[in-house]
Chains A and B, each alone.
Chain A
Amino acid sequence: GNSVTQMEGPVTLSEEAFLTINCTYTATGYPSLFWYVQYPGEGLQLLLKATKADDKGSNKGFEATYRKETTSFHLEKGSVQVSDSAVYFCALRDNAGKSTFGDGTTLTVKP
Chain B
Amino acid sequence: GAGVSQTPSNKVTEKGKYVELRCDPISGHTALYWYRQSLGQGPEFLIYFQGTGAADDSGLPNDRFFAVRPEGSVSTLKIQRTERGDSAVYLCASSLNPGTGEKLFFGSGTQLSVL
Looking at the complex, which one of B40, B43, B44, B100 makes contact with A31 (CB distance below 8 Å)? B100
Residues from chain B with Cβ under 8 Å of A32 in the complex: 100-101
Nearest-Cβ distance from residue A53 to partner chain B, whole angstroms? 13
A49 at the interface (CB under 8 A from B): yes
Number of chain B residues whose Cβ lies closer than 8 Å to a Cβ of chain A? 27
- Residues of B that sit less than 8 Å from A by CB: 31, 33, 35, 40-45, 48, 50, 55-56, 91, 93, 95, 98-104, 106-109
Some 28 contacts from A to B, beta carbons below 8 A apart, are: A31-B100, A32-B101, A36-B104, A36-B106, A42-B108, A43-B109, A44-B43, A44-B91, A45-B106, A46-B104, A89-B43, A91-B42, A93-B100, A93-B101, A93-B102, A94-B100, A96-B98, A97-B50, A97-B95, A97-B98, A97-B99, A98-B45, A101-B35, A101-B43, A101-B44, A102-B42, A103-B42, A104-B40
